Amino acid sequence: MRQGLDHERSRSVVAALALVVAACGGDPPTTSEGDPTGRPGSSAGAPGTGEDGGAGTVPAEGGSGHASPPPPPPPNGLSGEYFDDFTTSKLVRVDPKIDFSWTAPPGAGLRAESYSVRWTGTLTPAFTETYTLTLTSDDGVRLWVDGKLLVDHWDMHAPVDDGKAVALVAGHDHDVRLEYFQYLQGARIALAWSSKSQSKEIVPTSALKPRAAPAAGPRPSYTNAVIAADCPDPGVLRVDGEPATYFMACTGGSFPIRTSNDLVTWRNTGVSLLPGGTAPWAGDGFRNWAPELHKAKTQYVAYYTASDKTGRLCIGAAHATSPTGPWVDRGAAIVRDAGLGAIDAHFFADDDGRQYLYWKLDGNAVGQPTPIVAQELAPDGMSFLAGSAPHEVLRNDPATWEKGVVEAPWVIRRNGSYFLFYSGNVYDDRYRTGVARAASPLGPFTKKGAPILNNDAAWVGPGHGSVVVAHGADFFFHHAWPATGGVRNDAAGRWDLLEPIVYAGGWPSFAGDVSASGPLVWP
């Protein structure tokens, strides 16, 4: 298991792998943090090549000890494109044949885990007859021949053979696309063939011709939860780049900041929003809730809920030049409501450059309604624009599923409309997610009606999430309690789930209007 993994990722991934390995008859995965390469194995690269199966270096003649330049790529083989973290193309080469058992990174710029490969080219048989193409894999593998998907074993598993019959024509170049991902521990991929006239063997170099690979990398599937530990009210920030990087903090304590390149695998940065655990203006720090990280016009900003020295819930703010800080607190609450208290701040930047802060007035704590209000921010995001005032954009309806609460706003703009995702009802089994729509960031917002994210047998109380973009698609990163038969495991806390958002009829929604366990397509 790779060193430095979050404990919550380790536990959830190892549990999933144990189930897969048991089903395949293999040994359960190790949980040792001291073995970064996973199960032992041996390289099976082509003879005369380097350990990674690519072209190696050859000692110079005369015993000088110097290395001669690498030989040119072989004229035959398959074009392989290797993607780090399933996203970033790090290596392109021609592999003479597909027969690898990697215990080390397969090439420069890659790690020993969390990578994928796409091989493309053609396969030319010697006989016109039905062949069996056999793939040996650990982990996921997919194979297309002449555009037809023959093998689809796209999950984490111990070494296993998948064979498929296909009619091939002697001397004909059949298009081949082979995709593979390695997630954790052992890495094995091999392509063999056999037929009535052809004894079983690894498909030889002479039968393969390379072809340029497409640009995007193959990715594995994932299953929820992506953080299998208590992490309520996750606030996720995307920072553009190659690849994009995500940062996240959730309710509690000093607000530790995690980071990810894919929204599925998360690691700690070692940085906290409030290193001391309490804001300088706050009281005991026991009600540190709902942090969000954002990019304002001039700097990064963070908002959070805390109780001041009188016990009133207020909105705090901090700023930094980087998501990993150091974060400098504003020194005083940015929102302190004299009547109700304020929680669940959310920042939204419109396409015209104007910035807004949304928050909930905590009326349900004193038996009053719970409006969500918004106010325009100054460019630095740490104060309100001169002359602006709070504007109510949403209010709970006690006659509906919301009962006494609407909270946790998150606003996006899509296709000319503004959508406000929000949570309603009590934050237990009754919690749900709804959405409202408007033509302006200040409303008026019209609710869709029924919740768009409900309980199911595996997850209850889904809500308080962030809408995040990955590879041009929208995802909802939110919390829910794990459940058995719809009964929540309260002791486990609220885990974090990643849901693909779909748009139909002018509204966002989720498949089945419930949280999906998976397998789901990697973001």
Percentage of the chain exceeding pLDDT 90: 75
pLDDT digits (tens, 9 = 90+) for 378-421: 999 999 999 999 999 999 999 999 999 999 999 999 989 999 99
Task: Look up tokens 């996006």; give the residue.
Answer: 412
Give the global pTM. 0.69
Residue 298: both structure tokens together: 């001039």
Q: How many CB atoms lie within 10 A of CB 449?
A: 12
The dotted CATH code for 235-516 is 2.115.10.20
- Cβ contacts of 491 within 8 Å, gap of 6 or more: none
More confidently predicted of 118 and 243: 118
Residue 500 has pLDDT above 90, yes or no: yes
Beta strands in 310-431 (DSSP E): 313-320, 328-329, 342-349, 355-361, 372-377, 391-394, 406-414, 417-424
More confidently predicted of 212 and 282: 282
pLDDT digits (tens, 9 = 90+) for 423-436: 999 999 999 999 99
CA dist 170 and 129 (Å) reads 8
CA dist 250 and 193 (Å) reads 51
pLDDT score recorded for residue 19? 32
CATH 2.60.120.380 fits 7-52+75-221, yes or no: yes
Q: Which letter, b or e, does each residue of 391-420 get, where b requires 16 or more Cβ atoms within 10 Å of its Cβ?
A: eebbbbeeeeebbbbbbbbbbbeeeeebbb
pLDDT category at 127 given cuts 50, 70, 90 is: very high
Nearest to 5 by CA among 22, 17, 23, 20: 17
**Where along the chain do its domains lie?**
7-52+75-221, 235-516
Residue 429's Cβ-count burial label (10 Å; 0-12, 13-18, 19+) is middle
Phi, psi of 414, rounded to the nearest 5 degrees: -140, 130
Residue 460 has pLDDT above 50, yes or no: yes
pLDDT category at 422 given cuts 50, 70, 90 is: very high
Rg (CA), the chain: 27
Beta strands in 367-510 (DSSP E): 372-377, 391-394, 406-414, 417-424, 432-438, 446-447, 459-470, 473-484, 487-488, 495-500, 502-504, 507-509
DSSP per residue, 21-72: HHHHT-PPPP--TT-TT-S-----PPTTS-TTSS----BPTTS--PBPPPPP
pLDDT digits (tens, 9 = 90+) for 310-324: 999 999 999 999 999
